[in-house]
Structure 1
């Protein structure tokens, strides 16, 4: 039986303070008319971006028990959406979850959280990157940033990369399994204050690009926000370029709405101020068709 409201298994950590992971995934999906069903990988007092001496409770040992209960009551998911995974075992759990809960027309989005600015996060090593390369084979959509795309492909991190080479990267990533590849935080060598987001649909062999104006601030959680809007948008029936455009516009709005305040960046964007915009009509699109 079709769910009256699309239902998503959201496999992320939960921070008690700070707008990242499930703290942003849940309100965004709910606002977009999607039921988020949380499978928490860990609980933290705060997220790790800028906070020290935070408390951390690893829920790896509890994840399977939650999954087993979901199996017992026969939950059907229209989408599976995974984000930060803290161990090899958690990657294995997500892979098995995808197989166990597979159903027709299901959306699988994997955000392969591995690193940024050319460096892996402190919890990531070569074995975790290798396992993530295997996990993305099970996805319909992946949303790596430029650094993570280079890790998945085993390519050097080179901000001066050409657009033609980036086109090749998107297709190589799609060849691994995911039919839709979205690469965020792509540097634009000719523009100091611009970055791009690229999206490739393998079935249509079509590539889109949206440019983003640079704002001199870094807010944790914007990647989670971006991927969550992509999930909600695709479940609403939007095309890939429209989903891409909505996600870029929403993240940009959230950053701009936050930047004018004397506000600690480590707390994340002021999501609550911009959430209602997700219910507005689709605005004029700014995506470019590259091929």
Structure 2
């Protein structure tokens, strides 16, 4: 049966305050006319970026019965989309979820949230990295940032990296399993003030690049927003380069709308100010095909 609204299983944590994880995934995908079916991995009073003494409820022990009920109901999804996972057991549960609900028709998207700015998050370990390597074998698309790509490949983190080396990283990550690999936050060079998103599509054997002006600000949750826009765009039928362009344009507009405002950046981008942009026609302006 053809559904009139695309359905996404979103496996992320839920923060009561701060625009990250499900608090960002749900409004973005809903605005893009997709039904979001959350699988909450944990409930936090705030996200963990720059907040202290937050409350944390681990939902690992309830996830399997939650998923079993969905399996009993025979729910089908157009996309399975996972983000931050807090333990090896949660990674294994997501792997099982893909086995149960994944098929040749739906998208399996894994955002391997583990690190940023050259360092692992405090909850991550080498064991977590190894389990994440096994999870991405089952994905169609992965969206690591530059730091996460380095950890997945056991490569040293350095901002002095060539485009040819990034292309090699993309192909090596694709060899693990995913057909499409997208590395975000590729560092700007001394010559260029741009930061880039670079993608590899193994089926077409093509590399795509979208650049934007680097803005010296850190807002938690931007990776969740980026991948959510990408998922929504692909579910609407956009090509990969259009989806990349749209995602970069949106997150850039969100950062620009937020950067000049006087409020704590740890609250995330002012998503509410720019959500309506997702309903506008796509203005293709910046993607390029790399040789």
Same fold (TM over 0.5): yes
Report the counterpart of residue 3 of structure 2 in structure 1.
Answer: 3
1:70 aligns with 2:67: no
TM-score, with length taken from structure 1: 0.98
Do 2:80 and 2:102's aligned partners in 1 also have CA atoms closer than 8 Å?
no
Give the corresponding residue for 1:46: 46
Who is 2:173 aligned against?
Answer: 173
- For structure 2, the 5+ residue unaligned runs are none
1: CA distance between counterparts of 2:275 and 2:176? 34
Aligned equivalents of 1:277, 1:191: Cα separation in 2: 31
Q: Is the 8 A contact 1:242 1:285 kept in 2?
A: no
Shift in Å at residue 73 of structure 1?
1.1
User: Which moved further from structure 2: 149-158 or 14-23?
Assistant: 149-158
TM-score (normalised: structure 2): 0.98
Residues 147 and 157, structure 2, Cα contact 8 Å, conserved in 1? yes
Aligned: 1:219 with 2:183: no
Matched residue count: 291
Distance 2:188 2:16 in 1: 36
Q: Cα distance, 1:283 vs. partner?
A: 0.5
Which runs of 5 or more structure 1 residues have no equivalent in the other structure?
none
Preserved CA contact (<8 Å) 2:14 2:21: yes
Query: Which residue number in structure 2 is paired with residue 96 of structure 1?
Result: 96
Q: Is the 8 A contact 2:253 2:274 kept in 1?
A: yes
- Could you tell me which residue of structure 2 aligns to residue 28 of structure 1? 28
Match of 1:111 in 2: 111
Moved over 6 A (4+): none
Q: Distance in 1 between matches of 2:192 and 2:199?
A: 21
In structure 1, distance between residues paired with 2:165 and 2:188? 13
Provide the C-alpha distance between the structure 2 equivalents of 1:105 and 1:234, rounded to a whole number of angstroms.
13
Matched residues in 1 for 2:199 and 2:217: separation? 24
| CA RMSD in angstroms, aligned pairs only | 0.9
